[in-house]
Amino acid sequence: MLAQPRPTDSLNGLLGFPVTPFGEDGELDLPRFRRHLTEMLEVQPTAVFVACGTGEFASLTLAEHREVVGAAVSHVAGQVRVFAGIGGGTRVAVEFARSAESAGADGALVLPPYLQVGPPAGLVAHYRQIAAATELPLVPYQRSTAIFTPEAVAELAELEQIVAFKDGHGDIELLQRIQTATGGDLPLLNGMPTAETFARAYAAVGARAYSSATLAFAPRIARAFFDAVESGDDDTQRTLLREFYVPLTRLRNTTDGYAVSLVKAGLDLQGRSAGSVRPPLADVTPEHRAELGRVLDRGYAALDESSPAQP
């Protein structure tokens, strides 16, 4: 059980994950980044998570990361909370956490350590050292090289700075055991790729909030789906899953890295380019770009059909 109650403003709702725009020279495009944030804020996400997976954290230098976080904090200006992605080995993660804190971030999403896989005790030590180095609220992210035991999460949940637990692993039984081990007091976030396809399953174990990459390139669709989940509108959920989300996941699964590349391609298709992805990611092929355009058209058509007629 948790020693302290969670903050009353714990994370909930629809969470936005913006891309990091790059110019033709491959450098940061902060003016475009600010416009991108404005587009996302129009559909009122609960928080924005910058320089995370969708924001290509792994390809950013520390200086670039600080610029992106600072630009988000100043542009958002308190409308929503800004969480920054941090990650890597413990000392690298500490360095990024301190930098994000100095740039004004409201919290940090701790991405899994790259390549290294440690036992639960090692993961707990990793997060304890990060928490000791910063006052930022922290959200551990379970996926890839960071898979937790329920006991490890319960131990971390005793730290006041651990404000939520994000899952991108997809093991619902494990997530239920984590929810039980923490007494249901630690907010759980659905962090699966194309999280909307898992929304109902995750809601069943108390993880109603989720990260939406779709919100970064098709915010109207993302908001409509989340509202349908919240209101219990099964017809709209089924329609958008059939016409948009399931075809999108099929396309995403064709190529490694498309969870990010498709988002930037979707923006470009709609005249809101955020530039190319950085290696080792690769831009979407022409054939897949055309298919994505068809998926977007079907999504918007389904959205318009499901919207109530205006008087």
Please identify every residue annotated as catalytic.
141, 166
Contacts 24+ apart (CB under 8 A), 97-100: 97/130, 97/133, 97/134, 97/136, 97/138, 98/133, 98/134, 99/62, 99/65, 99/66, 99/69, 100/65, 100/66, 100/69, 100/134, 100/136
Tokens 């909930």 correspond to 12
- Taking the C-alpha atoms of residue 129 and residue 215, their distance in angstroms, rounded to an integer, is 33
Q: Token pair of 27, please?
A: 């450098």
- Taking the C-alpha atoms of residue 165 and residue 2, their distance in angstroms, rounded to an integer, is 14
- Taking the C-alpha atoms of residue 174 and residue 172, their distance in angstroms, rounded to an integer, is 5
